[in-house]
Amino acid sequence: MTLDFTYQASAARIVFGNGASGDVVKWVEALDCRRALVLSTPHQAADAQALSNRLGPLSVGTFTEATMHTPVDVTERAVARAAELGVDCVVSLGGGSTTGLGKAMAYRTDIQQIVIPTTYAGSEVTPILGQTENGVKTTVRSPKITPEVVIYDPQLTLGLPVGMSVTSGLNAIAHAAEGLYAPDRNPITTMMSIDGIRALKEALPALIDSPRDGAAREKALYGAWLCGTVLGQISMSLHHKICHTLGGSFDTPHAETHSIMLPHTIGFNASAVPELMTPISDIFGGATPGQALYDFAKSIGSPMALKDFGLSEADLDRAADIATRNPYSNPRPIDRTAIRALLQDAWSGTRPPY
């Protein structure tokens, strides 16, 4: 890489530490807010209520309908409820789905957001919102979408089930791996990519052995922050395009899709820019980056085949069409035949050739 770059730091204030979510009152007050609405999925409603209780008079209640892929009708209900209650900030407690709801509200109303992530998705540090209406998922970017404060408290991830920890962690690695060859990468994002991938590579196997290992949880969340920051600052390519296609048009689950596709897409691109992908080989070993990522994912119990998630072999033709229809930047030229072959390997769970 030549030293010729633009770097824009994220506007989000990052607070990291075991027990850090205990200071949530301080951060609501720091934003000069007095009427917070706590957001969560139905699954984490009890945790949201406990957080609302901790906020005491600073909370006006909870909204616990956050849903994967951020459906617009849910957002509209949340915005209406916030207006009724005179809310001046949201506190989003959960994974990318809950963060997505808070971001969707901020996109419409510019409301301030505090996010307390409990997965490794990385959405909390990006200015990107994906939302769904009438079965179509679209993506928008805006500075309004970036949360004001992100509180990373590893203790809140101790109960993240092992299966979700694995797929969510691989989802985070995917952001950083694509960051290594992004056309707008810079020395800072490359450093963050390498350190983020390394942290997750070390933490994920430790979590499988011992899901409540505090040091491993801390390292995994630290890696997730770095990888998410990379996602928010530079462009993504083939891997994210294919995962967006599969999730948006075939409703495959988000983190699992990233986990399955990762060795195939990164391997495919690594063959065009091997010098940029040496960090993957340094961190994972292996003959090639794609094979090394495949072996790692398999060793930590990741799902390996798209066919296990409701996708038929015939769907692969349409997925290849959608994913190659519009041009986008990618280190290796996008060729429909090659992408169809790559999808076939991911569908059947075959170790990639590159």
Residues found near ligand NAD in the complex (CB under 6 A): 41, 43-44, 68-69, 94-98, 100, 118-119, 121-123, 126, 128-130, 157, 159-160, 164, 168, 231, 254-255
Nearer Cβ to ligand NAD (138/299): 138
Instruction: For the CB of residue 154, give the shortest distance to ligand NAD in the complex, in Å.
Output: 11
Q: Which is nearer to ligand NAD, 33 or 243 (CB)?
A: 243
Q: How far is the CB of 22 from ligand NAD (least distance, A)?
A: 16
Q: Which is closer to ligand NAD, CB of 79 or CB of 255?
A: 255
Minimum distance from residue 233 beta carbon to ligand NAD (Å): 11
If phi over 0 gives left and psi between -120 and 50 gives alpha, with beta otherwise, what is residue 170?
Answer: alpha
Question: Which CB atom, from 75 or from 98, has the smaller least distance to ligand NAD?
Answer: 98
Q: How far is the CB of 171 from ligand NAD (least distance, A)?
A: 6
In the bound state with ligand NAD, the residue whose beta carbon lies nearer, of 248 and 352, is 248
C-beta nearest to ligand NAD: residue: 96
CB of 67 to ligand NAD, least distance (A): 8
